[in-house]
Structure 1
Amino acid sequence: MATPVQHDPAVATPPAAYEPVVEEQTGRSKRPFILIILALALLVGGYFGWQRYQFGQAHEETDDAQVEGDVYPILPRVTGAVLEVKVEDNQRVKKGDVLVTVDPADYQQRVNAAEAALAAAQANVVAARAGVGTAQANVGAARSAIGVSDANRARLQKDLKRSEFLRKEDIIPQSEYDAVQANLKSTSAQRATAQQQVSVAQQQVAAAQQQIAVAEAVVKQRQADLDNAKLQLSYTTITAPGNGIVSKKNVQPGQNISPNQQLMGLVASGNTWIIANFKETQLENMREGQPVSVEVDAYPNQEFEGKIESLSAATGARFALLPPDNASGNFVKVVQRVPVKISLTKTDPDHPLRAGMSVRAIVKVK
């Protein structure tokens, strides 16, 4: 008779058969939460995507932009040795402040020589005017001689008539009659000579007047030389053309400089703007006066406001040293960029903009 087998409760396996059921129930309970999270993520992503799409439809932006400003090159106009440099790098200066002085000795000597030449030319004018007075006096003397000759001629003509009557009556000898005739002829000759002297004196007056004109022209030339010498002397003092900050100074006392040699740069501190290079495909709805938001890399938490002031009439590539030539046969279409000038309408004195800073420009086109 078979003995019945008894099972030990410690080694019984029925509970293990129910474990998969418990895990399946746990997994099913987590699935709704995961689906809800995914749905929320999709909704949030879709919302922000839609917002970004709407923003992109109404705005055009580029990070190919930078701050621009007036930078004055400080260039000498004369040659010479530098006596003194009165500024340092990054020093703020005002319009008219002295930046550099050049040795003025040579230019002062030129001024002195020009002044002496001008004085000599003015003296020649005075002499020429005196010559005119002398010539006019000679004209007056010659005319007086003509008057005297006419008076003597009238008297001798009367004497000749009387002498003719007396000679017919044989009252006076022939010799006296001949003497009266000779005196009359001599007086007529003297008058002709005086008339020629008047013509000569009048020519002398005209020549003297021409000398005055020549002398006055020389005075103007000498005055121009003096003004030019003084102008060159003034160039030995180099001043600031406007308010700004000194940058890139490369001149020292004792250095010999020449015209058009850049000594330093002066960055104007009162006027800055933005040049943003937008793609040509972004310009369809872009117009002057549209508002612009400007984000500066140097101030990530600060936003500047501006507006479009103007759009360039040509792409930036047209101003390159070697502009592209699409007729060469090796044409590759490249989207061009057009510079757009943006003026700032709202700035922050605590966050100054410096020329060359990188910015991001966002234009509201709709």
Structure 2
Amino acid sequence: MATPLQHDPAVTPHSTAPEPVAEEPKGSKRPIILVILALALLVGGYFGWQRYQFSLAHEETDDAQVEGDVYPIIPRVSGPVLDVKVADNQRVKKGDVLVTVDAADYQQRVNAAEAALAAARANVVAARAGVGTAQANVSSARAAIGVSAATRARLEKDLKRSKFLRQQDIIPQSEYDAVQASLSSTSAQRATAEQQVLVAQQQVAAAQQQIAVAEAVVKQRQADLENAQLQLSYATITAPVDGVVSRKNVQPGQNIGPGQQLMGLVASGNTWVIANFKETQLENMRVGQPVTIEVDAYPNEEFAGEVQSLSAATGARFALLPPDNASGNFVKVVQRIPIKITLTKTDPEHPLRAGMSVRAIVKVK
């Protein structure tokens, strides 16, 4: 009978006993976490300190927008529209024709005013001719006075001789009476001529007044003509400045009238920023301080500007119904003051358009 073999555990080729594993000491990761937390606190504190220092030297608001000159295009005369020369968002130059209105009625008024002016000028010429005639009448009457004076002198001598001859009974009484009657008639003619001189002088004064009246009428007719020409010029509506056409609401054939807005013209190259700062932010704000402008439309761009002026009143003061704190219950509300900021440098590749939202940061220290 075979005896079973016994294996010595010491010489077993494959041992299954587990190897001892070194245990890490507890709390070995804690210093790394503390270092990370410390670095985070330092970085956060640094940026927080920087932000605090920045806030001490700057005031900022996002209640701000780009503003620009918007010119309403409003006709001064009424009539049907013949042609509209522009379209929405079209750039125009100062003096470019935007809209033309039918000018037939206004041209007729110009023609009538020109005719009235010509008639008034003719009346001036006639009045001046009347002065010449009246002055000629004065000269004629004065000449008649001279003739009658000479005749009177001659007749006085004749009467003196006739009287002597009559006393000598050389001439008949009838001849003496005839010379005496002629002298009396000459005296009457002289008086008549003197009256004619006065009448002629009055006629000269009246004619001169007629010239003044006629010249005044000429001025009135000239003013009427200029007014008619001005109304005629209004039939052609032109651009007041360089800009971009916006909100066009006029078409050919439409009947327009004074006061009706046809379109808007946004002036190009003239924009600024209105920033509404809280009243508690204005303590150190002054005109001329530099401003950094961040535009929502261009998040990666910054624009430079400066404070041009501070409004003399809060925005609420210009409201349609300004608040009256003396009536009702009072609730204190921090007011905002509009600040005008001008751009010191523009970027043609990033144009600013009226109404854009921006963030304004003013360096106050």
- Normalising by structure 1, report the TM-score: 0.92
Cross-structure match for 2:35: 36
Q: Secondary structure at the match of 1:349?
A: coil
Question: What pairs with 1:292-307 in structure 2 (closer than 5 Å)?
Answer: 292-307=291-306
Q: Distance in 2 between matches of 1:347 and 1:303?
A: 10
Cross-structure match for 1:102: 101
1:336 aligns to 2:335 (yes or no)? yes
Cross-structure match for 1:77: 76
Q: Secondary structure at the match of 1:346?
A: coil
How far did 1:329 drift? 4.1
Amino acid at match of 1:344: L
Write out per-residue CA displacement over residues 234-291 of structure 1, whole angstroms, 9 at most, x where no aligned residue.
0000000011110000000000100121100111111111111111110100011111
Amino acid at match of 1:357: M
1:283 aligns to 2:282 (yes or no)? yes
Q: Distance in 2 between matches of 1:329 and 1:70?
A: 39
Question: What pairs with 1:171-182 in structure 2 (closer than 5 Å)?
Answer: 171-182=170-181
Cross-structure match for 2:258: 259
Identity score, percent: 85
Amino acid at match of 1:348: D
Question: What pairs with 1:77-226 in structure 2 (closer than 5 Å)?
Answer: 77-226=76-225
Cross-structure match for 1:46: 45
Question: What pairs with 1:301-316 in structure 2 (closer than 5 Å)?
Answer: 301-316=300-315
Amino acid at match of 2:107: Q
Q: Distance in 2 between matches of 1:304 and 1:160?
A: 116
Q: Distance in 2 between matches of 1:97 and 1:143?
A: 68
Q: Distance in 1 between matches of 2:251 and 2:340?
A: 37
Cross-structure match for 1:271: 270
Write out per-residue CA displacement over residues 82-138 of structure 1, whole angstroms, 9 at most, x where no aligned residue.
000000000000000000000000000000010111111111111111111111111
Q: Mean Cα displacement is larger for which, 190-199 or 314-323?
A: 314-323
Corresponding residue pairs, total? 347
Cross-structure match for 1:358: 357
Q: Mean Cα displacement is larger for which, 166-175 or 115-124?
A: 166-175
Question: What pairs with 1:229-268 in structure 2 (closer than 5 Å)?
Answer: 229-268=228-267
Judging by fraction of residues, say which structure has more helix: 1
Amino acid at match of 2:185: S
Write out per-residue CA displacement over residues 186-231 of structure 1, whole angstroms, 9 at most, x where no aligned residue.
0000000011011111111111111111111111100100000000
In structure 1, runs of 5+ residues without a counterpart are 1-14
How far did 1:22 drift? 5.5
Amino acid at match of 1:242: V
Q: Distance in 2 between matches of 1:31 and 1:22?
A: 16
Q: Secondary structure at the match of 1:323?
A: coil
Q: Secondary structure at the match of 1:44?
A: helix
Write out per-residue CA displacement over residues 130-183 of structure 1, whole angstroms, 9 at most, x where no aligned residue.
111111111111111111100000000111111111111121111111111111
Q: Distance in 2 between matches of 1:22 and 1:124?
A: 130
Q: Distance in 1 between matches of 2:31 and 2:294?
A: 43
How far did 1:30 drift? 2.0
Runs of 4+ in 1 over 2 A off after TM superposition: none
Q: Secondary structure at the match of 1:56?
A: helix
Write out per-residue CA displacement over residues 21-56 of structure 1, whole angstroms, 9 at most, x where no aligned residue.
968x44x12222222222222111111111111000
Q: Distance in 1 between matches of 2:144 and 2:315?
A: 88
Q: Secondary structure at the match of 1:87?
A: coil
How far did 1:330 drift? 2.3
Amino acid at match of 2:193: A
Cross-structure match for 1:346: 345
Cross-structure match for 1:318: 317
Q: Distance in 2 between matches of 1:330 and 1:132?
A: 83
How far did 1:328 drift? 1.6
Q: Secondary structure at the match of 1:70?
A: strand
Amino acid at match of 1:78: V
Give the superposed CA RMSD: 1.6
Q: Distance in 1 between matches of 2:242 and 2:101?
A: 22
Q: Distance in 2 between matches of 1:176 and 1:295?
A: 125
